[in-house]
Amino acid sequence: MKKFMTLVILLGLGVLTSCGNNTSTKTSTTVVESTASTTSDDDDVLTGINTVNLDYDSFKESYGDASLTLDGEVLEEVDGVYTINVAESKQELTLSGYFEGRIVIQNGNSLDTYKGITLNLSNAFIVNDDEATIDYSLDEKNIEIISVKSTTNYIVNTSETNYDGHGINSLNNIEMRIQAGSNLYLYTVHGHTAKADGDFKIIGPGNIYLSSGHDAIHCHNFTTTNSGTFTGTFTVTNAISQAIEASETDKEGTANITGGTFVINNSESVIKADYAVNITAGSLTSEGIWSDPFVRGANRTLYVNITDGVSVIINGETFTTYEV
pLDDT digits (tens, 9 = 90+) for 75-113: 999 999 999 999 999 999 999 999 999 999 999 999 999
pLDDT of residue 72: 83
For the cut 50, the answer to whether the pLDDT of residue 42 exceeds it is: no
Residue from 272, 287, 279, 295 nearest 317 by CA:
287
Any domain includes 82: yes
3-state secondary structure of 60: helix
Q: Give rounded-to-5 percent helix, strand, coil for the chain.
A: 0, 55, 40
Distance CA 287, CA 219 (A): 23
What does the chain come to in residues? 324
Q: Domain range for residue 125? A: 8-255
Any domain includes 300: no
Any domain includes 62: yes
Residue from 41, 98, 24 nearest 241 by CA:
41
- State the pLDDT confidence band at 32, using cuts at 50, 70 and 90: very low
pLDDT of residue 49: 86
Domain count, the chain: 1
Distance CA 154, CA 55 (A): 13
Question: What percentage of the chain has pLDDT greater than the value 90?
Answer: 78
Any domain includes 281: no
- State the pLDDT confidence band at 299, using cuts at 50, 70 and 90: confident
Any domain includes 315: no
pTM: 0.86
Any domain includes 113: yes
Q: Which residues lie below 8 Å from residue 304, measured CB to CB, with a gap of 6+? A: 276, 277, 279, 294, 319, 321, 322, 323, 324
For the cut 60, the answer to whether the pLDDT of residue 11 exceeds it is: no
pLDDT of residue 21: 36
Q: Residue-wise over 228-251: b if at least 16 C-beta within 10 A, else e?
A: ebbbbbbbbbbbbbbbbbbbbeee
- The Cα angle at residue 154 between residues 239 and 210, in degrees rounded to 5: 15
Any domain includes 154: yes
Residue from 50, 45, 4, 47 nearest 272 by CA:
45
Average pLDDT over residues 292-317: 95
- State the pLDDT confidence band at 249, using cuts at 50, 70 and 90: low
Any domain includes 54: yes
pLDDT of residue 128: 97
